Structure 1
Amino acid sequence: MLRAKNLVQLVIKSNLCTTGSVRTAEAMATLSKRGQVAVVTLKNPPLNVLSYPTRASIVQSIKEAEQDASVKSIVLCGSGRSFSAGADITEFANPDLVFKEPNLIEVTKAVEACSKPVVAVMHGTSLGGGVELALGCHYRLLHKAGKIGLPEVHIGLVPGATGTQKVPRVMSIPNAIDMITSGRHISAKEAHKMGIVDKVLEDDYMNEGVAFAESVANDPVGPRRVSQMPVKVDETTPMVFKVAYEKVAAKARGMYSPLFCVKAIEAATKASSFEEGLQMEKNIQTFLAVSEQTPALQYAFFGERAISKWSVPDGSTSYKTAKGQEVKSAAVIGAGTMGVGITMSMVLAGIPTYLTEQNQEYLEKGLKMVQGYLAHGVKQGRMSEDKAKQIFSLVRPTLSYDDLKDVDVVVEAVFENMALKKEIFKKLDGVCKPSAVLASNTSTLDIDEMASATTRPDKVMGMHFFSPAHIMKLLENIRGKDTSPETMATAMDLGKRMKKVSVLVGNCPGFVGNRMLAPYSKEAIFLLEEGALPHEVDQTLEDFGLAMGLCRMGDLAGLDIGYKSRKEFGFIQREGQDDFLRKGERYSPLSDWLVESGRLGQKTGKGFYNYGKPGGRKPEADPEVTQMIMDVSQKAGITRRHIPAQEILERCLYGLINEGFKCLEEQIASSDEDIDMIWLYGYGWPRHTGGPMYYAKNIVGLPKLLERILYYHFQHPNSPYWKPSQLLIDRVSEDHPHASKL
């Protein structure tokens, strides 16, 4: 494992060295004329990706326009809904296509070398190679609603078609670092302010773009060639990069590509020529392309798209033709943190939504939370005040279930108590129209038991949002045994409309995400009993790349949430029961002791850590917690020992992964991708390792994983999650037949 500081040194000191069938190049860029302006239009729907035929067509069209004496200037634009989404990522599997001449670098050079002014007229979302293509043009214009971005960092690469060398020539170095290392989409207004765009266009962007091209027809193109522009450096530049390496490394959490983006940009400031800097960009791209992180990141990229084609792993095919009903209005039961977040998700998607509470006081608190979220959005510049008012107008507060009689979907979001949830579902069943979908935001409880309180079990399912619900992208949709394919389709379509990463899973305690979280959480606490301290467990997990260690995550969420859940399932019963064995399993009361002593986490200022005050954010080790850990170890009869980081990592992650195989084995999850997307988007699993299932197969290796799971199974026989999954054994035995005898 590489800590952030060490990874910075790896990047700064590295001395990188360079060591099928093809489609016919049909015209995917057409040439037309508007007076003395030639218009080259990309026509590779739907996103005008820069596949080999498109690249060849662009070069040919530019050449023809340059040779036409009647043409004085050229507009390069895209058809459909965008200018260009960049490289054709499907070509990555075939390097012959990626590098087939003209490759993207050669295309940008051909455009830039044109003796007549070439104006990029961009609209929609222009990404990656599309932006690099525009940087080959002499002028860049962007429609006011358009956005641009260089997202290559998210698939483990740098903008490797001149992007890292040209962007710092048209904007400041700090802005270039931010744009390239974040991969974020930049608005037209911001792009113009930064300098990468020369003009923002209004709605009649094509006519305006042509008029601009006419206005610069006689201007020299030499000064407009970005490759010939100087990079703005001064005496502060070295410090800018020093700070950037440290800042980016802390955020990257072990991911290579953001730091190598910084290194490539730095090359632009140090190289004696554009070509020398471009060679360094190429060297970096070559290094990243063969690293283990790039295929993991590309797997994650495609995995997110794969799960949208959801399936039910029970052999039925009725889901294939199922169509969800249109959601014109919705309702949320409960105006607490989760209920308000779900309401925000609905209204941000343009869905009028009833927010329901049991009394006016709670309802008013919920409405104030909605207003606060919207005000924050305005303050951050994500929406105008008028837009915030329009969104808030979609919230319909009510104390009466009778107002919900015509809604299409209801999401119950009260606390985890089965009796209460069944009571609510029974009421909703009597009030809502027969076609309405009744969903629960439960994170652990039985969907089928809730459905039994209704006369429409086919219309009942779980919709497990993650907190904060209006920000977190994951939506875990849970099908009950009677849930109809149409209801599943409705939930999945609704998730997409709310811009969630929606995953369909089966019904069992904890479903997929929290079921896998359970062994992770238990092992972290057992490690504390056996010799580790909270900061040691958390540091190991964060060094691996997780967004937050288990103890810090518990403090952030509130330790009382897990306490209530354990109480619901009957684990917190002291009298006449061994504190360290519950229902035949090893059990630690440490988390219970923390809650019962008033240490609920950040909200009380104390949990596994001391935060100084309620709501504090900076965790400090607390001697009181250390003593509590020592006491629980002594009471359990455990002799404390030093626990190495590798054991911490294996025990926290391998039991979790084994449970993931059991989810597949029991058909709770449909695919490895389903599980990986749940953990990437719901639990902060490091994206550069692909997700727990990808990590197990491609980084750890399944034989080694099975070996270590067996080892811990013999060490801890009272922890059932260490019993190897039969599916894991079967997968290993495909390549290692002896494993089938286990």
Structure 2
Amino acid sequence: MCETADTGTAVNGVVRVQTRGSISVIEVDSPPVNALSRDVRAGVSSAVVAANEDPDVVALVITCAGRTWMAGADIKEFGGPPLEPTFTRMIGVLDGSVKPIVAAVHGTALGGGLELALACHHRVAATGTVLGSPEIKLGLLPGAGGTQRLPRLIGPVAALDLILTARNVAADEALALGLVDAVVPSDELRRAAIATALEVAASGQPVRRVRDLSERIAPDAVPADLFTEARMNLSRSTPDLLAPQYCIRCVEAAVTMPFDDGVALERELFYELVDTSQSRALRHVFAAERRVKRPPGESASARDVQAVGVVGAGTMGSGIAMALADAGYRVHLVDSDRGALERSDTSAAARYQRMVGRGELSEAAARARRDSIGRSEELVSLRACDVVIEAVVERSDVKKALLRQVDEVLGADAIIASNTSTLDLDDLASVIGDPSRVIGLHFFSPAHIMTLVEVVRGRHTSPDALATALDMCRRMNKTGVVVGVCPGFVGNRMLLRRTAAADALLLQGAMPWEIDAALVSFGFKMGPYQMSDLIGLDVLWNRETTSSATIREVLCEQGRFGQKAGAGFYDYAESRRGAPSEQVADIVRGFARRSGQTQRAFGPDEIVDRLMAALVNEGAKLLDEGIATRGSDIDVVWVHGYGFPRHRGGPMFFADERGLDRMLASVEELGIPEQEPAPLLTRLVSEGGRLATYEPGVPSSG
């Protein structure tokens, strides 16, 4: 094989063609991720057509410069007019090539990038390449022939698995599945792809189009109950989601229909999904999760953090320590209670051993993570830490006393973070000599599992402290959302309003199980009264001061503390599944009578509207006050921290979809003095604006 090449010819600004002997090498170079822009599509299509017309070319190789193969389709094009050449037209050009095309894949081949590789006739992957079909996460399906080619290449069982789970596969697994033809070291990728192209051309065999493969979809190769079973599984796990159902229909079509008919069905269903509220919601969350990493106006660089201290070895502190260890930090866990430190170590050891048992960690890696957490009863052990996070009891006096001591121990440049969930961060920072190095990191329990961290920016918090906190969240695989200082910050402040709205509904005639059922049907894992029973109604109850002033107090006075007592808002038998309680119904009716409330029946939709209105109204106030920076940030908080169903997009997006005028009417119907309509909500209704895209100074209409 001749290694001498010409200097290459530019097709356009992002695609060039070089010749390696009789092989045309088409290279995409569109930083940073070689996204499938219109220029990329046009350049590749033009180069393939030209190579097919060149009598000196016997085969083609498509490769990419930079760190990755071509990224998927740009979701910003969804809903707009198609830009020629469309992605499907580009796929058709590759598929129809009369000369074999070899894809030289490296980095990631996901979504549209994988579909492009499938339209090539052979695939060579570099070691470390990751491949997958994540479209279902956006409420979509592979829409450029992916649902038809993938089953033909790897079989419908494996295809359904990859498409429905959206899991990525490494190069070695892709080779075993038949998704790629060879795996080679990265520095040999282009050479190996050219060699493959020459070998295929020399064989004289017809072009091996994936569309023409039939062995994996033959009747005797497909389990008879495959699609029935897949649908049954969906009915149990995600019955309300459209995209998984449509994906099954398309893969089934690959087995039962001619290729072109299957592609036609795939395109029809793809465009149906694009226009659904579910897909719009999932695409909104996808974009919001990326936007939240870049707070407006912030450009400071993160500090280099190696060692992190955690004070408090309780459930929260231990979880934070494990999250930090998982991210590769050296952790110093401090607690004056030796027993708490020992329990923390035992808990960490058990967790890491479970991970070893599941194949998630090697024994050596588990040992290294456990050993990376040092434990001490002395605050002086924090002296070398770059960041210290306090995670002690939620009392201002206790936290202030601790922060004073930490300030004395640490170096002048170390960042001090509080894990407070409700307290005034500026008040806590007032005891520190330099409050600019104080920030809030509100983790959610269990901290090593939950993905949300509210990053609380105080009045004096420095830009580099904020940047460092966000970088730490990224390293811990957490979603950090910047919020301002107020009681409860964003999530808990909104939750408090929803709780008040739910309690008001009780007095107006809705029973706890009706409210819970409405929210579960909406998509939450559980409702507020199920959650209360799980946590325990007596968590903040005091037997000495109780006065039968609330329904919760009466339940506690009667020993109905929740699941642990076998009775709370629900009655519990041997199982943990609660049943409606006539005793609780009588208590609720009695409170309603004494308060002069007229009770009536509420349907599920009205319950949802009332509770969402409370959330949305408070969210609008948080935006007006500058506590939340963007409407989409609030959606991220609720999706990641409070179980808001992802396919609903978050409370602010849901409000836009439902109609802000309808939300405003529901707020007015709440009749709760503390929940008068937010000025921003009223203004956006009159202006035709949107909450999910609201950002001060940025138009929110559309």
Same fold per superposition (TM over 0.5) = yes
Residue 310 (structure 2) pairs with residue 345 (structure 1): no
The answer to whether the 8 A contact 1:51-1:91 is kept is no
User: CA separation in 1, counterparts of 2:60 and 2:365?
Assistant: 38
**Counterpart pick for 1:496 among 465, 470, 474:** 474
CA displacement 1:127-161 (0-9 Å, x = unmatched):
11100011011222333322112122222321100
**Counterpart pick for 2:202 among 201, 204, 218:** 218
Pair 1:142–1:531, CA change in 2 (3 A): farther
Provide the residue aligned with 1:131 in structure 2. Answer: 114
Pair 1:150–1:554, CA change in 2 (3 A): farther
User: CA separation in 2, counterparts of 1:166 and 1:530?
Assistant: 56
Provide the residue aligned with 1:177 in structure 2. Answer: 160
Provide the residue aligned with 2:44 in structure 1. Answer: 58
Alignment of 1:100-111 (within 5 A): 100-101=84-85, 103-111=86-94
User: CA separation in 1, counterparts of 2:247 and 2:88?
Assistant: 17
Q: Report how far residue 292 of structure 1 moved.
A: 2.7
The answer to whether the 8 A contact 1:268-1:277 is kept is yes
CA RMSD of aligned residues (A): 2.9
* Percent identity for Structure 1 against Structure 2: 36
Q: What amino acid sits opposite 2:274 in the alignment?
A: A
* Aligned-partner SS, 1:424: helix
The answer to whether the 8 A contact 1:333-1:413 is kept is yes
Residue 395 (structure 2) pairs with residue 417 (structure 1): yes
Alignment of 1:291-370 (within 5 A): 291-311=276-296, 320-370=298-348
Q: Report how far residue 202 of structure 1 moved.
A: 3.2
Provide the residue aligned with 2:262 in structure 1. Answer: 277
The answer to whether the 8 A contact 1:333-1:414 is kept is yes
**Counterpart pick for 1:154 among 96, 112, 137:** 137
Q: What amino acid sits opposite 1:694 in the alignment?
A: F
* Aligned-partner SS, 2:125: strand
Q: What amino acid sits opposite 1:710 in the alignment?
A: E
Q: What amino acid sits opposite 1:693 in the alignment?
A: M
Provide the residue aligned with 1:443 in structure 2. Answer: 421
The answer to whether the 8 A contact 1:83-1:130 is kept is yes
Moved more, 634-643 or 681-690: 634-643
Residue 78 (structure 2) pairs with residue 92 (structure 1): yes
The answer to whether the 8 A contact 1:463-1:478 is kept is yes
Residue 459 (structure 2) pairs with residue 481 (structure 1): yes
Pair 1:634–1:203, CA change in 2 (3 A): same
User: CA separation in 2, counterparts of 1:517 and 1:47?
Assistant: 39
**Counterpart pick for 1:39 among 21, 25, 50:** 25
User: CA separation in 2, counterparts of 1:675 and 1:324?
Assistant: 24
Provide the residue aligned with 1:3 in structure 2. Answer: none
Provide the residue aligned with 1:113 in structure 2. Answer: 96
Q: For this pair of structures, how many residues does the alignment match?
A: 674
The answer to whether the 8 A contact 1:253-1:545 is kept is no
The answer to whether the 8 A contact 2:559-2:565 is kept is no
Pair 1:622–1:136, CA change in 2 (3 A): same
Provide the residue aligned with 1:563 in structure 2. Answer: 539
The answer to whether the 8 A contact 1:463-1:477 is kept is yes
User: CA separation in 1, counterparts of 2:346 and 2:428?
Assistant: 30
CA displacement 1:709-742 (0-9 Å, x = unmatched):
11222xx44xx12x11122122223359xxxxxx
**Counterpart pick for 1:539 among 517, 526, 530:** 517
Alignment of 1:590-629 (within 5 A): 590=552, 593-594=555-556, 597=559, 599-601=561-563, 608=569, 619-622=576-579, 625-629=581-585
Residue 684 (structure 2) pairs with residue 731 (structure 1): yes
Q: Report how far residue 407 of structure 1 moved.
A: 0.9
* Aligned-partner SS, 1:332: strand
Q: What amino acid sits opposite 1:724 in the alignment?
A: P
Q: What amino acid sits opposite 1:634 in the alignment?
A: G
CA displacement 1:589-613 (0-9 Å, x = unmatched):
3277359837354x77765556766
Residue 12 (structure 2) pairs with residue 26 (structure 1): yes
The answer to whether the 8 A contact 1:126-1:147 is kept is yes
Moved more, 112-121 or 212-221: 212-221
User: CA separation in 2, counterparts of 1:216 and 1:344?
Assistant: 52
Provide the residue aligned with 2:666 in structure 1. Answer: 708
The answer to whether the 8 A contact 1:444-1:511 is kept is yes
The answer to whether the 8 A contact 1:108-1:136 is kept is yes
User: CA separation in 2, counterparts of 1:392 and 1:34?
Assistant: 52
Unpaired stretches in structure 2, ≥5 consecutive residues: 1-9, 690-702
Unpaired stretches in structure 1, ≥5 consecutive residues: 1-23, 312-318, 581-587, 737-742
CA displacement 1:88-114 (0-9 Å, x = unmatched):
2333353231xx12x222322322333
Q: What amino acid sits opposite 2:687 in the alignment?
A: E
* Aligned-partner SS, 1:218: helix
* Aligned-partner SS, 2:298: helix
Q: Report how far residue 422 of structure 1 moved.
A: 1.9
The answer to whether the 8 A contact 2:281-2:653 is kept is yes
Pair 1:433–1:117, CA change in 2 (3 A): same
Pair 1:92–1:639, CA change in 2 (3 A): closer
Pair 1:180–1:321, CA change in 2 (3 A): closer
The answer to whether the 8 A contact 1:29-1:57 is kept is yes
Q: What amino acid sits opposite 1:334 in the alignment?
A: G
CA displacement 1:554-604 (0-9 Å, x = unmatched):
455x236x833x77xxxx8745x5x44xxxxxxx33277359837354x77
> With structure 2 as the length reference, what TM-score do the two structures score?
0.88
Q: What amino acid sits opposite 1:150 in the alignment?
A: S
